[in-house]
């Protein structure tokens, strides 16, 4: 993660202290502790202020998105696949894991209302009243 912090420091114009704060915050999720580790005095006030600076907030948002895509999503997928194959987990958990994987892949079951409806008529089969 440190090498990416260097890259986003340049991209977002962060100072060294701001970059250090972000690095610690991304590791721990603790605002005040991160500000203190980054060397700021009065960490509670500074952490609050830092997270409201547009360039710091943008850098944080960018790096969180990258971490979710590159680290967290593949790990979550592996966990779901392991649950799907784990006979000890039970059928309900396997089903829920499979359903989640399919939903994330874009496969969703048809809604009941669309399944119950009669098939649509072709335009050439419709009356003038239906076309209005």
Nearest to 83, CA basis, from 72, 99, 67, 69: 99
Any residues with CB less than 8 A from the CB of 131 and at least 6 apart, and which?
123
Give pTM, 2 decimals. 0.66
The predicted pLDDT at position 114 comes to 53
- Whether the pLDDT of residue 3 is over 60: the answer is no
The predicted pLDDT at position 52 comes to 97
Higher per-residue confidence, 34 vs 113: 34
Higher per-residue confidence, 41 vs 122: 41
The predicted pLDDT at position 64 comes to 92
Over residues 42-51, the pLDDT tens digits come to: 999 999 999 9
Higher per-residue confidence, 91 vs 2: 91
pLDDT, averaged across the chain: 88
């Amino acid at each position: 993660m440190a090498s990416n912090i260097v890259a986003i420091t340049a991209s977002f114009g962060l100072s060294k202290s701001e970059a250090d704060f972000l690095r610690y915050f991304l590791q721990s999720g603790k605002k005040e502790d991160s500000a203190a580790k980054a060397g700021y005095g009065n960490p509670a006030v500074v952490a609050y202020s830092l997270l409201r600076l547009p360039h710091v907030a943008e850098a944080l948002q960018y790096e969180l998105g990258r971490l979710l895509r590159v680290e967290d999503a593949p790990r979550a997928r592996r966990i779901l696949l392991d649950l799907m194959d784990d006979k000890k987990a039970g059928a309900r958990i396997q089903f829920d894991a499979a359903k989640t994987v399919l939903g994330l892949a874009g496969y969703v079951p048809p809604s009941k209302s669309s399944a119950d409806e009669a098939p649509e008529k072709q335009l050439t089969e419709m009356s003038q009243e239906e076309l209005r």
